[in-house]
Structure 1
Amino acid sequence: MIITNNEKVYDKYKDKTNIIFVQGGFKDVLVKTRDKIHEGHELLTHPLSSSVKPNETPFKSVMISDDKRSLNLDSLYIIENSIMTYDNFSKHKFGMMTDQITEDFKLIDLTVLESALNI
């Protein structure tokens, strides 16, 4: 399952895999991912993967298991720490972005996700 706020990711994978589109920002994706982990899903990709810092991009895609099991404490630890890291970085917000910069960040997020998928 993919949790994303990136339209490029959603449009490309909506017919291929279970995907949740989050209306909101980077932190909203992290919070939705945490909620799913509490339901028994496990992280398949790290929520802070890539060299782009959380305060540098508004887009994020995270892969989690489709199936539910018991609460995975490793996944919970990683997502909780990712949210705390986001909160620390978010004190330094990114500035206004042009449409081209926004599209570039969407493409970066898609590329990072696809590297995890080995596409």
Structure 2
Amino acid sequence: MFKIEDCIIMTNNTLVVDKYSSLMKIEYVKSYKDVLIQARDYIYNKHKLLTHPQAGSLKPNQTPYRSVILYPTSDNKENVDSVMLIEKAIDTFNKFNEIRVTPEYPENIQNDYKKIDLSIIDNVISRIV
């Protein structure tokens, strides 16, 4: 199993930061794309994904929020699947945003998207702990 204190959450969602910053390391970044890019950098530096970078049924250009959980590995051989997933997620993000950029939602709708993202992370963390 995983040690929760070794997990890292990469997020642009303040609800995730507020809820989990006392439990594990949080890397707060500016945008959905930054979450993917920073997660990729961690993966290339001996970490693996514990959550799918495209979890949920929302397309990358529908929601402005994304959180992923990463975990350290002993070497880069353990995270080949994570490399494939994150590179595909970045490619998919770019393709969808070429079609249509994520809209600037009113605050109440942004909060709904934050709650959706938080619920995905809640579900995973309940299984880790």
TM range (shorter): over 0.9
Q: Normalized per residue, which structure has more helix?
A: 2
Structure 2: 5+ residue stretches without partners: 1-7
Q: What's the counterpart of residue 32 of structure 1?
A: 38
When the two structures are aligned, how many residues end up with a matched partner? 117
Q: Does 1:8 align with 2:45?
A: no
Between structures 1 and 2, the one with greater strand share: 2
State the match for 2:47 in structure 1: 41
Deviation at 1:48, TM superposition (A): 0.3
Matched, 1:75 2:82: yes
**Of 54, 57, 63, which aligns to 2:63?**
57
How far apart are residue 36 of structure 1 and its match? 0.2
Stretches of structure 1 lacking an aligned partner (at least 5 in a row) = none
**What is the rounded CA distance, in whole Å, between the counterparts of 1:113 and 1:17 in structure 2?**
13
* Aligned-partner SS, 1:117: helix
| 1:75-111 superposed Cα distances (whole Å, 9 cap, x missing partner) | 1111001100100111212323111001111111001
2:91 — aligned with what? Answer: 84
Give the CA RMSD over aligned residues.
1.2
Task: Flag as ranges the 4+ runs of structure 1 deviating above 6 A.
Answer: none
